[in-house]
A and B are shown apart, each in its own frame.
Chain A
Amino acid sequence: MKILRQFGIILLILLLGEAIRIGTGISIPSTVIGMILLFIALLSKLIKLEQIDMISKFLLDHLAFLFVPAGVGLISSLDLIGKAWLPILAIVLISTILVIGITGWTVQLLKRRVN
Chain B
Amino acid sequence: MNALLETPIFGILLSIVAYEIGILINKKSGKNALMNPLLIAIVIVIAVILGFDIPKENYDKGGSYILFFLGPATVVLAIPLYKQLELLKKDIVPILGGIMVGTLTSILSVVFLSKLFKVDLSVATSMIPKSVTTAIGMEVSKQIGGITSLTVAVIVLTGITGAVIGPTVLKIFRIKDEVAQGVAIGTAAHAVGTSKAMELGETQGAMSGLSIGIAGLATVILAPILMNLL
Contact = CB atoms under 8 A, between A and B. Distances in A.
Task: Place the interface of chain A in its size category.
Answer: 35 or more
A43 B38 CA distance: 33
Given A70-B148, A93-B161, A101-B173, A34 B75 contact: yes
Interface residues of B, number: 106
Contacts of A111: 91, 94, 177, 179-180
A105 B142 CA distance: 32
B145 to A, nearest CB: 12
A57 to B, nearest CB: 9
B152 A104 contact: no
Nearest to B67: A69
Interface in A46-69: 49, 52, 55-56, 59-60, 62-69
A107 B94 contact: yes
B63 A69 contact: yes
A63 B172 CA distance: 32
A103 interface: yes
Interface in A80-94: 80-81, 83-84, 87-94
Given A66-B67, A91-B113, A103-B101, A80 B147 contact: yes
A38 B95 CA distance: 22
Contacts of A27: 143, 224
Contacts of B221: 28
Interface centre among B78, B185, B187, B189 (most CB of A within 10 A): B78
A106 B220 CA distance: 21
Interface centre among A29, A35, A83 (most CB of B within 10 A): A35
B135 A96 contact: no
B206 interface: no
Contact of B105 (A34, A80, A98): A98
A100 B200 CA distance: 15
A95 B113 CA distance: 8
A16 to B, nearest CB: 10
Given A67-B156, A91-B110, A97-B169, 18 more contacts: A31-B135, A38-B75, A39-B82, A42-B79, A56-B79, A70-B134, A71-B149, A73-B148, A87-B117, A87-B118, A87-B119, A91-B119, A96-B158, A96-B161, A96-B189, A100-B188, A103-B98, A106-B102
27 contacts: A10-B75, A29-B136, A35-B76, A49-B82, A52-B79, A59-B69, A60-B80, A62-B69, A63-B135, A64-B38, A66-B67, A66-B73, A69-B11, A74-B153, A81-B150, A91-B113, A95-B105, A96-B169, A98-B109, A100-B162, A100-B188, A101-B169, A103-B98, A103-B184, A110-B94, A111-B177, A111-B179
